[in-house]
A and B are shown apart, each in its own frame.
Chain A
Amino acid sequence: MAIAPPPSPSRRDPVVHDLPSTSLPTPPAPTTGQEPVPSTTGTAVLRCSGLRKRFGERQAVDGVGFSIAPGETYGLLGPNGAGKTTTISIVCGILRRDEGEVVVAGRPMDPGATALKAEIGYVPQDLAIYPDLSARENLSFFGRLYGLSGATLRTRVDEVLQVVDLTDRAKDRTATYSGGMKRRLNIAIGLLHQPSLLVLDEPTVGVDPQSRNAILTSVEALSAAGMGILYTTHYMEEAERLCDRVGIMDEGKIIAEGRRRELVALIGELDRVRLVASGDLAAAAAAARAIPGVREASNRDGEIDLLVEEARSLLPRLLETVTGDGVTIRSVEVIEPDLESVFLHLTGKALRD
């Protein structure tokens, strides 16, 4: 299933990261409002605004709005009960909204918009496969519902089986599959009809690390291939790894939206760079302090500790400056504030509460 080399699992790893290459448009400025951020290239595959849904006394979704461009992965990040699943159920036409608008591929989406549903590949949070059928039978069944037939259906089934690495077990009843295999099949069904928009609702819940990594790798490949992806999760690491933009949801509202860096900037936290080095560390720290963007620099016990505004962009100049003073660097650790910190800052509670 390894479509692309998996990136580093966490940005807390003590390694120097390259900026992820992307062909996405310039990101919009971070917002904390509820109106959709318009796509900057062509027609957005999904645009929704002012979504509201109430269950009895509980306002499950309260004025949610966002948009997704082709090839963009948008993450809805929030704790359980934040309204993520309700939001995507509205987007997919599974739930009727009380208020608001959903536009998929330029056309308004309603529960009665049957044909438009073919533009969406839906991967529900719970496994939605038939355990007494094989993977191939499951895929063929759902493929037919999406209008595929004959050679086209067979070809697509073979392709998605390959994508999720289930070709060898395609004829086995899915009841005999591991949890990770079932999850991969669950995703494959959503991909089968080559939708414009893939909606994944917490697709890695209960999955072993290996399968989880494989799933994330697949999602990255699909995004790179131009598919718009709406991804809900309460795993901060997944949102950071996959999502071009993130909407942080809590109590039915998107309380902040933007790229990870932009969201982090919202709360004013700085990156930390820790250099393990030898030589005149005091002089090196003083030289580093003079670089614009470096807020603090100190040294002790063979380490230089720096607080900087944006470590990734500063790192080359920083290393050049430090090594220019005859200091030898043995290791570099970059610690960036994560979305967990953002969520904690914005809501006063942990993401997995």
Chain B
Amino acid sequence: MRAAIIIARRILRQRLRDRSAIVFAVLTPLFLALAFAAIIPDFTPTFHTTILVVDQDGGRVAGLFRDDVLAQLTETGIADIQPATDVAAATADVDADRAGVAIVIPAGLTSAVTTGRPAEMRIIAGGNVTAREVARAVVTRFASDIGTVQLAVQTIAASGGQADQATVEAAAQAVHGASPITVGDIAAEKRQASMATFYGAAMAIMFVFFAAQYGTLSLLGERRDGTLSRLIAAPIPPAAIILGGSLAGMTLGIVAMSTMVVATTLLVHASWGPPALVAILILAAVFAVTGISTLISTLTKTIEQASGLSAIVAICLAAIGGVFIPLSQSPEILGRIATITPHAWFLRAIDTLAGPDPALVEILPSVVVLVAMGLVTGAIGLARARRAVVPA
């Protein structure tokens, strides 16, 4: 290990000397953070809106929606729920941006539910797209649950029975209690990093490939410069030569990511989460990237080839992993494919850290997968690289 550290120190000194470490580990993250500051105008870290409720029904089902479902939005800090006297007043408030959105509970909703008749809840939306989507999600989920209640009522009726008020209430509560999501799903939606944090993290995980390669590709550089034979002739284990490069790559990757975290936090108010958990996540991500980069370096003969391949892999994995378009907005199949990339696991953990009081156990799956990726790819890479340094 001592020899690996000596080699890593020498590589880092060289990378500082030729300024590649400064460019890729410090200046690039800083530039990206500044670019975000310029092109993303609103970095409000937490979404919040006002939802007006026009209750034209006043029945038990309307009360359930208003006092139970919508109230949870208030509890989680997403929205303030305020009553509106009528549709016109609500529309005026939304148009004037005094509220983000309004939900109209139609008259006869409770009656419709108990008799199995259709009913329509309406959303009055203005320019606040996020508020509209939140309202739409809540209403859609509620409508789905109501549909289940109606189905229960219709089943009772079809079997010759009659759905009295108690039956409806029991069915409604059962649906509400049994549903795995309902408003709870909205709370999960909130576990999404802000735009600044997302793009900061996305760019960090993508560019860490470029920073790490300056260490992991060093073996090819040793071969090109003729120093490899001298290292092999030295009284050190051959593995130390490879490990030294990987250690240097990891160091550069950690510096690059840390710079990105600090820069986006200071410049664009990105909210990465608890520093200790972010540090653990960064270590795991850089470990994974170093492993992949080590493997890439063994698939080519020259530094030029390796740099090109590394760039292609970095961009492709980034595209698949949801760096450019969040996976939440991508087709489901892409979300599944993305799990092969460190990017997806890293960004998933970043989203998790955006929630209230995140714990280590919540990002542990991502950390474990990232470390496993690093171990597997790194082990294959080291095994392949050993052929270059172990005498044949």
Which residues of chain A have a CB within 8 Å of any CB of chain B? Answer: 89, 92-96, 111, 114-118, 120, 122, 124, 126-133, 137, 141-142, 144-147, 173, 189
Contact of A120 among B17, B233, B236, B390 (CB under 8 A): B233
Q: Which residues of B contact A96 (CB under 8 A)?
A: 391-392
B42 within 8 A of A: no
B229 within 8 A of A: yes
Query: Of B6-14, B60-68, B270-278, B320-328, which binds chain A?
Result: B6-14
Contact of B233 among A94, A131, A144, A173 (CB under 8 A): A94
Q: Is the CB of B14 within 8 A of A128?
A: no
* B344 CB to nearest chain A CB (Å): 37
Q: Which chain B residues numbered 200 to 249 have a C-beta less than 8 Å away from chain A?
A: 225-227, 229-237
A130 to B7, CA, bound (A): 12
Q: Is the CB of A141 within 8 A of B10?
A: yes
A141 to B8, CA, bound (A): 11
* B158 CB to nearest chain A CB (Å): 82
Q: Is the CB of A133 within 8 A of B13?
A: yes
Given A111-B391, A133-B14, A124 contacting B226 (CB threshold 8 A): yes
A128 to B229, CA, bound (A): 8
Q: Is the CB of A111 within 8 A of B226?
A: no
4 more contacts with CB within 8 A, not counting A131-B225, A145-B236, are A126-B226, A128-B230, A137-B13, A145-B7
Q: Is the CB of B17 within 8 A of A122?
A: no
Q: Which residues of B contact A111 (CB under 8 A)?
A: 390-391
A189 to B227, CA, bound (A): 11
A96 to B238, CA, bound (A): 14
Closest 5 CB pairs of A and B: A126-B226, A111-B391, A128-B230, A117-B235, A122-B233
Minimal Cβ-Cβ distance residue in B for A125: B226
Count chain B residues whose beta carbon lies closer than 8 angstroms to a beta carbon of A: 23
Q: Which residues of A contact B357 (CB under 8 A)?
A: none
Q: Is the CB of B17 within 8 A of A132?
A: yes
Minimal Cβ-Cβ distance residue in A for B230: A128
Given A111-B390, A132-B17, A133-B14, A94 contacting B229 (CB threshold 8 A): yes
Contact of A95 among B17, B18, B225, B391 (CB under 8 A): B391
Given A114-B236, A130-B10, A132-B17, A145 contacting B225 (CB threshold 8 A): no
Q: Is the CB of B392 within 8 A of A95?
A: yes
A164 to B229, CA, bound (A): 22
Q: Is the CB of A124 within 8 A of B391?
A: no
Minimal Cβ-Cβ distance residue in A for B234: A145
Question: In this complex, which of A95, A132, A145 has the most chain B Cβ atoms within 10 angstroms of its Cβ?
Answer: A145
A294 to B18, CA, bound (A): 67
Minimal Cβ-Cβ distance residue in B for A189: B230
Q: Is the CB of A133 within 8 A of B391?
A: no
Q: Which residues of B contact A118 (CB under 8 A)?
A: 235
Q: Is the CB of B234 within 8 A of A142?
A: yes
Q: Which residues of B contact A145 (CB under 8 A)?
A: 3, 6-7, 231, 234-236
**19 A-B contacts, Cβ less than 8 Å apart?**
A93-B233, A94-B229, A111-B390, A117-B234, A118-B235, A124-B230, A126-B226, A128-B225, A128-B227, A130-B10, A132-B14, A137-B13, A141-B6, A141-B10, A145-B6, A146-B234, A147-B235, A173-B17, A189-B230
Given A117-B233, A128-B227, A142-B234, A94 contacting B10 (CB threshold 8 A): no
Q: Which residues of B contact A93 (CB under 8 A)?
A: 232-233, 391
Q: Is the CB of A130 within 8 A of B14?
A: yes
* B75 CB to nearest chain A CB (Å): 60
A122 to B390, CA, bound (A): 17
A151 to B17, CA, bound (A): 25
* A313 CB to nearest chain B CB (Å): 42
Q: Is the CB of A114 within 8 A of B13?
A: no
Q: Which residues of B contact A116 (CB under 8 A)?
A: 235
A13 to B7, CA, bound (A): 49
Q: Is the CB of A133 within 8 A of B6?
A: no
A117 to B230, CA, bound (A): 11
* B229 CB to nearest chain A CB (Å): 5
Q: Which residues of A contact B231 (CB under 8 A)?
A: 145
A89 to B391, CA, bound (A): 9
A111 to B233, CA, bound (A): 9
* B208 CB to nearest chain A CB (Å): 23
A146 to B230, CA, bound (A): 11
* A206 CB to nearest chain B CB (Å): 13
Q: Which chain B residues numbered 349 to 392 have a C-beta less than 8 Å away from chain A?
A: 390-392
Q: Is the CB of B233 within 8 A of A133?
A: no
* A316 CB to nearest chain B CB (Å): 47
* A46 CB to nearest chain B CB (Å): 14
A127 to B390, CA, bound (A): 21
A130 to B226, CA, bound (A): 9
